[in-house]
Amino acid sequence: MTKRSFATLGTLALLVAASAFGQQKIRVDIPFEFHLADAVLPAGQYEVNVGAHNMQSLVSLDCSASRSQAITTTYPIGGGADALTEGRLVFNKYGEAYFLSQVWSPGYSQGRGLNKSKTENEIARVTMPTETSRVNLAMR
C-alpha cells in the first residue's frame, strides 16, 4: 500500500510540475466589465494564465481584489513568423458589452482564440455588425 501511495504522489508531482512549466502568467489592467465564457467579470487588475492541461490549452483570469476568476478552453490562432514583443487581449464589443476573444502572449507568434459563448452569440445575432469592434490592451 505504501509503494502505491508513493507512486501516486510521484505521478501527481510530475503532472503539477509539467502543467506549471507550460504556463505563462501576465498581469493586465482591464478598465471595463467583460464576459469570459459564462462569467461576467468586473474591471480590475487580472493575472492571465495561459497553459495546457490534459492536451487542451486553457486561459484563466484571476482578480484578487474582487475575488473574481474564470477559465475556458482555447484554440490556436495566427502563427506569423515573428514573436510578439508585447502581448495583448482582444475583446469583441457589442453595444456596451465586452467579450474576451483572443489572448496573445509576449514572446510567441501564435495566439489563443476563445469560442463565443451562448450569450455572445445571442447578442451578436441582434446587434448590427458595424457596432462590433475590438479593444486591444497591452499586457504588463
Handedness of CA 126, 128, 131, 137 (dihedral sign): positive
Counting every residue, how long is the chain? 140
Q: What is the model's pLDDT at position 26?
A: 84
Residue 1 counted as domain residue: no
The answer to whether position 130 is within a domain reads yes
| Closest to 78 in 3D by CA, of 35, 54, 108 | 108
Per the structure, the complete domain to which residue 96 belongs is given by 24-138
Q: Which residue has the higher pLDDT, 31 or 16?
A: 31
H or E element, residue 17? helix 2-21
Q: Give dist(CA 47, CA 36) in Å, integer.
A: 14
Are the C-beta atoms of 95 and 131 separated by less than 8 Å?
yes
pLDDT at position 64: 86
**7 in any annotated domain:** no
Are 88 and 77 within 8 A, CB to CB? no
Does any domain span residue 4?
no
Residue 14 lies in a domain: no
* Inside any domain, residue 41: yes
Domain count, the chain: 1
Residue 115 three-state SS: coil
| Tens of pLDDT, residues 57-112 | 899 999 988 898 999 999 999 877 787 777 889 899 888 899 999 998 888 888 89
> What are residue 89's phi and psi, to 5 degrees?
-105, 140
DSSP 29-50: EE-S-EEETTEEE-SEEEEEEE
